[in-house]
Amino acid sequence: MMPNVRLDSVDLDILRVLQNDARTSNKELAAAVGVAPSTCLDRVNRLREAGVILGQDLRVDAAKLGRPLEAFLSVRVQPHRRPLVDPFVEHVLAQPETRALYHLTGPDDFLVHVAARSAADLQRLVLDEFTARTEVALVHTNLIFQHWRGGPLLP
């Protein structure tokens, strides 16, 4: 996002509507925020160009796609240096089981959200794709029993 992006009340209204339903048509969005469709389209494009709107995401049910076992992997990389971190990140993101990857402060360096087909598949992932890497010093696995999604940033 560009620094010093100024958002007025119309921009904030646009974001409120879109974050609740990103499939809202431009015509419906314009009516909801009280501007002309052409003005609305210009504003949405400006918000995209400024990096305020990052994209539209499709959420899928991992279990219905054959990956019912979800877990968080806390990973410690040593030494924690860019020449090792960048290839590690690329490797993790290349794994089909990876749902999300976070770079952290604290005792662990990364938190990886994964979805596996089974406990054996999760074990294979941890042993063959994580702990087999020389820069990985530790992997701690936490199974996810249930997940709740947070609300919108702009209620």
For the stretch 129-147, pLDDT in tens is 999 999 999 999 999 999 9
Cα separation, 74 vs 111, in Å, equals 5
Taking only the tens place, the pLDDT of each residue in 59-115 is 899 999 999 999 999 999 999 999 999 999 999 999 999 999 999 999 999 999 999
Q: With contact defined as beta carbons under 8 Å apart, do 142 and 108 qualify?
A: no
Q: Which two three-digit tokens encode residue 143?
A: 């199974």
| DSSP-derived secondary structure for 28-57 | HHHHHHTS-HHHHHHHHHHHHHTTSS----
Angle at 90 between CA 84 and CA 96, to 5 degrees: 135
Which pLDDT score is estimated for 58?
86
Cα separation, 35 vs 9, in Å, equals 12
Cα separation, 133 vs 138, in Å, equals 10
Pairing of strands 98-103, 110-116: antiparallel
CATH 3.30.70.920 in the chain is located at 63-143
CATH 1.10.10.10 in the chain is located at 9-49
Which pLDDT score is estimated for 1?
45
Cα separation, 45 vs 24, in Å, equals 15
Is the pLDDT score of 3 beyond 90?
no
Taking only the tens place, the pLDDT of each residue in 12-55 is 999 999 998 999 999 999 999 999 999 999 999 999 999 999 99
Which pLDDT score is estimated for 57?
85
Architecture of domain 63-143: 2-Layer Sandwich (3.30)
**114-123, 133-142, 145-154: least confident range:** 145-154
Instruction: Indicate the Cα dihedral angle 33, 37, 39, 40, nearest 10°.
Output: 50
Fold of the 9-49 domain: Arc Repressor Mutant, subunit A (1.10.10)
